[in-house]
Structure 1
Amino acid sequence: MIAGILLLQAVACAVLSGIVANNKNRDPVGWGILGFLFGLFGFVAALVVKSAEPEEEPEKDQRSERVTRQSPTARKFNSDEHEKKCPDCAEYIKLEARVCRYCGHEFSDEEVERQIEERKKEFEEEREQRRKKRKSAREEPSKGAKERKVCPTCSTHHPLDQEECSRCGTSLTD
């Protein structure tokens, strides 16, 4: 009788832990096993754990059928991520808003479109600057790195003004 009650409790905790974990984008099977093995403690752990970020579906390239993932630097302009300042109440509202939710100031359709285009242009310019900066950082040697000669015999690095390898005595002049 007691074993049946304990088994029923373990199954209930397993099911509840799995449901809670699934709602938090966690593995329901794994959390269900934890709920079954640890009972109420496993269920409480499933309640306390933070939600996991949902995995994004990879985007398909239209030119080919291969799957490509976007890097954070290659993301596209999203107007929901940008805000504008209301000229009347100085509160920040969404870039696409036509009416300020704080004071009721109305923006014309042309003004909203112009603001969106300006922000989009700024976004593209910033992205291009970051791309150029990354490219130049890859091409230029680091600031602390000095130009050095490499010995053809023992591969030891030497300053440019040195004419003979200090390790093997090979001439470093070309």
Structure 2
Amino acid sequence: MLLFIVAIVHVLCVKPLNNSPIGPALNTKKCPQCAETVQADARICRFCRYDFENPGNHRPLDQVGAVPDNRN
């Protein structure tokens, strides 16, 4: 019974660690095209293929994953 009381006091008094997965991590950035969170070191967004190093050279969202039609 004493252990239970000590455990309750401990839970109420000790602050939780800030290791929660809620919210973006410090080493991430937001893609300006699709608004997904990616690693800060990413050169290309893994969701929409946005090119962070050449912002003017990206594929529109409607073409992401599309196979080029080479039928003439």
Whether the TM-score (by the shorter chain) exceeds 0.5 is: no
Greater relative contact order (Cα < 8 A, sep 6+) = 2
TM-score range, shorter chain: 0.3 to 0.5
Structure (1/2) with the larger helix percentage: 1
The TM-score normalised by the length of structure 2 is 0.34
TM-score, structure 1 as length reference: 0.19
